[in-house]
Amino acid sequence: MTTTLTDSRETLSALTDRFVDAFNRQDIDAVMSFFAEDAVYRDPYGKSHEGLAAIRKAFEPVLNGALGKINFAGEDRFIDAEAGKVMDSWTLHMHMGEGPEKEASMTGLDLLTFKNDKLVRKTTYRRG
């Protein structure tokens, strides 16, 4: 069976959906399962985290509940199937308790590069 561009786009979109779902469940093991051993995560502050241990450490504050309950709501998605790249823009909602004063949000986007169904690079830009 030949893989078509549409199949690749659908595969990349489904991988991205599952990755975002793992973040929204705040399941660090599930999040980490998407990354290749030699992956690189560049955080919104410009710092690079290379390899699984460094990436896990960078994500722990987001996924361990320190920011409360989080939810990434997708906005726009662009896919370059030939390059294995996804640009996913989002709004992050953080609920740190009861009441509107305990809620915050920010907008941003992720540039995700997949190779063989694994993330090899994740670059995050944020505003807010």
Per-residue pLDDT at 128: 62
Per-residue pLDDT at 54: 98
Q: Which CATH class is domain 5-127?
A: alpha beta
How confident is the model over 19-58, as pLDDT tens digits?
999 999 999 999 999 999 999 999 999 999 999 999 999 9
Per-residue pLDDT at 68: 87
Reference 118, options 20, 18, 34, 27; nearest CA is: 34
Distances (CA, A) of 112 to 11, 68, 80: 13, 25, 10
pTM strictly above 0.85: yes
Pair 28, 19: CB distance under 8 Å: no
2 band by pLDDT with thresholds 50, 70 and 90: very low
How confident is the model over 61-119, as pLDDT tens digits?
989 988 789 999 999 999 999 999 999 999 999 888 776 678 888 999 999 999 999 99
- CA angle (110, 90, 107) in 5-degree steps: 95
Phi, psi angle pair for 74, to nearest 5° = -70, 150
